[in-house]
Amino acid sequence: MYDLIVIGSGPGGYVAAIRAAQLGMKTAIIEKYSTLGGTCLNVGCIPSKALLDSSEHYHNAAHTFENHGINLSSLKVNFKQMVSRKRDVVKQNVEGIQYLMKKNKIDVHQGIGSFKDKNTIIVTKEDGKTEELTAKKTIIATGSKPANLPFINLDKERIITSTEALELKEVPKHLVIIGGGVIGLELGSVYARLGAKVSVVEFMNGIIPTMDKTMGKELQKSLKKLGFEFYLQHKVTGVERKGKEVTVTAENSKNETISIKGDYVLVSIGRKPYTDGLNAAAAGVKINDKGQVEVDENLKTSADNIYAIGDVVKGAMLAHKAEEEGVFVAETLAGQKPHVNYLLIPGVVYTWPEVASVGYTEEQLKEKGVKVKTGKFPFMASGRARASGDVDGLVKVLADAETDEILGVHMIGPRAADMIAEAVVAMEYRASAEDIARMSHAHPTYTEAFKEACLGATDNRALHL
């Protein structure tokens, strides 16, 4: 009998297994696919970033190199090679997880894990053979799948989800994206940089609607420069395909119908928790009406020896949130007292400029009735940004008007994804804006923009604005 079985090898599952093994538990992991790493490594974070990086290189070579005094002739995209490189990056990463399983002496069982009872899991392999495993404790980390609208027939050729968008055979001529969230905008950026026309149809009145409104507005400006076309406050009512042509129909807020024709439609309206085949009921594990595994504050399910983490439970659907929860449960099982600070899980959009956020948005603070001081610093005023030519965007710091504690940091600009870590550390230690304003930041760096925004939040005393 294992001390712990983890079902699902995404960033939640494999991290939980590693931490449990480090803490001395006899651990196994069950994964239905032949490669480890889940959505994130196979069809999510990693392949999307590989294509984002490649397409960014091309875009810069085509549009900004000349300005830097670098002239290229006969520049062209070898899309097949781009996708092939992406596959190599994925392969290296999933092999890395395989190595980590071996190193930590974690048994890997390939197949679909389904509960027989709360201590027994049946693993059904591809050839139909089954194996029964028993465990004292189990962690469900079965992740999520792309969501769809009931009237859309995903043919996975031209009406596609993010999974197929990472494996296209050609650059679309006109990609219509349903949903202006993180995944749609990242994949839209890849293809816009490679020359596709990109149209985004979004139901809400702004893109990346869950983030601070300033970020959405700024990002929309930047993406428009890249050639994106936006249809905000439009409700998609139909998607039709005729041969190579796809038509998306949508209604605007005045009930007028528009139709957009393209050659590919990407449906990116979010993701839904995945529990198919798990037979959760046999173990007494409750699934709620959103399809999530129901958990308490310790991530324990309705069965007292079974926990659940990551995309399959409530909260942000992010790899690093899943990882934190994996560590949390493993340490809880070992009798430790870990914690996860959900407020300080950063959110990032890997467009260019990148968007990164942590803590409360201005809208949330207004709703809570908290009085705030705001400091903003545009990258246009940063020497580092001018040197690299990445002058779009700003850093926005929200600090408590009375105590000066930083309550939210929202950035759009170069390397914001990496820069947000400083804000996470500051907020974890409950820094005031003044604390950051008094710390030396190397010059010239993009991070000076965070310091300047903090100076701005404390008595409007930014030095370079």
Q: Is 419 known to sit in a ligand binding site? A: no
Taking the least distance from each CB to ligand FAD, the nearer of 83 and 381 is 83
The first and second tokens of residue 394, run together, are 């700003």
Establish if 32 lies at the interface with ligand FAD (CB under 6 A): yes
- Residue 295 is a binding residue for ligand FAD (CB under 6 A): no
The phi, psi pair for 301, rounded to 5°, reads: -85, -170
- 349-368: which residues touch ligand FAD (CB under 6 A)? 350
Binding of ligand FAD at residue 44 (CB under 6 A)?
A: yes
Angle at 394 between CA 221 and CA 417, to 5 degrees: 95
3-state secondary structure of 356: strand
Rounded to an integer, what distance in angstroms lies between the CA atom of residue 188 and that of residue 223? 9
Q: Rounding to the nearest 10 degrees, give the CA dihedral for residues 2, 7, 9, 15.
A: -60
Known binding residue 185? Answer is: yes
The Cα–Cα gap between 420 and 450 comes to 9
Question: Annotation-wise, does 37 bind a ligand?
Answer: no
Instruction: Find the length of the chain.
Output: 465
**Rule CB under 6 A: is residue 293 a binding residue for ligand FAD?**
no
- 300-318 burial code (b ≥16 CB/10 A, e <16): bbebebbbbbbbbbebebb
Please report how close the Cβ of residue 321 comes to ligand FAD at its closest, in angstroms: 7
> Using the rule CB under 6 A, which residue among 180, 188, 310, 456 binds ligand FAD?
310
Phi, psi values for residue 197, rounded to 5°: -80, 135
The C-alpha atoms of residue 16 and residue 256 are separated, in whole angstroms, by 50
Is 144 flagged in the annotation as binding? yes
Stretch that binds ligand FAD, among 141-149, 189-197, 422-430, 445-453 (CB under 6 A): 141-149
- Of positions 138, 162, 222, 301, contacts ligand FAD by CB under 6 A: 162
Token look-up 């809208």 returns 363
Per the annotation, the verdict on 68 as an active-site residue is no
* 183 near ligand FAD (CB under 6 A): yes
Q: Which of 57, 63, 68, 443 is catalytic?
A: 443
Residues 210-249: x where in contact with ligand FAD by CB under 6 A, - otherwise, as a string: ----------------------------------------
Binds ligand FAD (CB under 6 A): choice among 27, 133, 143, 178:
143
3-state secondary structure of 185: helix
Among residues 95, 55, 105, 47, the alpha carbon closest in space to that of 77 is found at: 55
**Residue 221 corresponds to which amino acid?**
K
Q: What are phi and psi of 122, to 5 degrees?
A: -95, 130
Stretch that binds ligand FAD, among 147-155, 173-181, 316-324, 337-345 (CB under 6 A): 316-324
The verdict on 27 binding ligand FAD (CB under 6 A) reads no
Closer CB to ligand FAD, residue 112 or residue 269? 112
Measured CA to CA, the distance from residue 175 to residue 159 in angstroms comes to: 10
Burial of 102 (0-12, 13-18, 19+ CB in 10 A): exposed
Q: Cβ 370 to ligand FAD, closest distance in Å?
A: 27
Using CB under 6 A, pick the residue from 211, 280, 319, 420 that binds ligand FAD.
Answer: 319
Q: In the complex with ligand FAD, which residue's Cβ is closer, 10 or 206?
A: 10
In sequence order, the 6+-apart residues with CB closer than 8 A to the CB of 405 are 399, 430, 431, 432
Bridge partners, residue 121, by sequence: 115, 133
Smaller CB separation from ligand FAD, 323 or 392? 323
Select from 10, 179, 184, 413 the one that contacts ligand FAD (CB under 6 A).
10
**Interface with ligand FAD (CB under 6 A):** 7-13, 30-33, 38-40, 44-45, 48, 112-113, 141-144, 162, 183, 274, 277-278, 310-312, 317-320, 322, 350
Binding residue numbers:
49, 113, 142-144, 179-186, 202, 270, 311, 317-320
Binding residue numbers for NAD(+):
179-186, 202, 270
Q: Which positions are catalytic? A: 443
